[in-house]
Amino acid sequence: MKNKVKWLRISYWAGAIGDFIIAILVLIPERMGVPSYVYPMGLMSAVAFSWGCMLIWADREPLERKWILLPTILVGVMLLIAGIYSVYAGVITIRSYIPNLILSPAIVTLWSFSYYNARDIEVGDST
C-alpha cells in the first residue's frame, strides 16, 4: 500500500509543479508566441495556480482525495487537445508545442497509472 500512496503523491506533486510552471509561463504571452492573448492567458494562469494548490491539498490526504486525479486527467487531456488544435489553426507553431506534446501524455499517463493503481484501496485500509 505504501508504494501505491507514493505514486499518488508523486502524481500530485508532478501536477502541482507543472501547474505552477504553466501559471508563470502564461503570464508572459509574448514568450509563448501569442502576445494578443494577455487576458485569456491571465485567466489560465489563475486556473493553473489554483489547480496546483488543489493538488498539494490532495497530497495532504492522498488516499481520501485520490478522486481529484480524475478531473485532473480530464483537464490534462483537454489541454493537450486544445494545444493540438492551436497548432492546426496556426495560432502556435508545432516547434513551440513539441515539449507539451511530449510532457502532456507522459503526465496524463502518470496520473492515470496512479489512480488505477490505488483504486482498490479504501480509506482506513492498513494492508
What is the rounded CA–CA span in Å between residue 59 and residue 6?
10
- Amino acid (1-letter code) at residue 30: E
Q: pTM of this prediction?
A: 0.85
Domain boundaries, the chain: 2-118
* Residue 114 burial by Cβ neighbours in a 10 Å radius (0-12, 13-18, 19+): buried
Give residue 127's pLDDT: 46
Helix (H) or strand (E) holding 52: helix 38-60
Give 97-111 pLDDT, tens digit per residue: 899 999 999 999 999
The cell numbers describing 58, all together, are 490532495
Tell me the pLDDT tens digit for each residue of 50-94: 999 999 999 999 999 999 999 999 999 999 999 999 899 998 889
The pLDDT value recorded for residue 14 is 97
Q: What is the mean pLDDT of the chain?
A: 90
- Cα–Cα distance, 5 to 68 (Å, whole number): 14
pLDDT of residue 26: 84
